[in-house]
Amino acid sequence: FYVFWSGGGGGAASGGRTGRPRTLLAFPSADAALAFAQRNQLAGPAARPRLRQLALLQLLQVLIGEPAIVALLLASDAAPDDLPPGRLPDGLRLERGDVLRELGLV
């Protein structure tokens, strides 16, 4: 999976330390992740978009280990390319609380 990484604490995958709830978006391809980031202007014009490739286990570790991330959204392969800005793609949404309960960690 690919996530767009924003080091400034404001992107979908940054997991910034602001404490506000975040959803970690993971895309099946680098192209899909970049298209989403560009469409939603997650990087300034001078900033180079940065992608990180993470395995499902790594994504789950981030979800479990970072309280500010309340959900992991695995975007569907069939997500349309023309989503309006601000709209999340369809896919499988895993809520942090549900994952913690299933693993017996709460």
pLDDT in tens, 10-56: 444 444 455 688 999 999 999 888 888 888 777 666 666 688 999 99
Is position 100 within any domain? Answer: no
- Please give the tally of structural domains in the chain: 1
Domain residues for 61?
2-93
pLDDT for 51-93, tens place per residue?
Answer: 899 999 999 999 999 999 999 999 987 766 677 777 888 999 9
Is position 99 within any domain? Answer: no
Q: Which of 75, 47, 72, 73 is nearest to 62 (CA)?
A: 72
Global pTM?
0.79
pLDDT number for residue 101: 96
Is position 40 within any domain? Answer: yes
Is position 83 within any domain? Answer: yes
CA gap 72, 92 in Å, rounded: 8
Is position 62 within any domain? Answer: yes
CA distances from 5 to 1, 30, 37, 70 (A): 13, 12, 9, 17
pLDDT of 9 above 70: no
CA gap 30, 48 in Å, rounded: 14
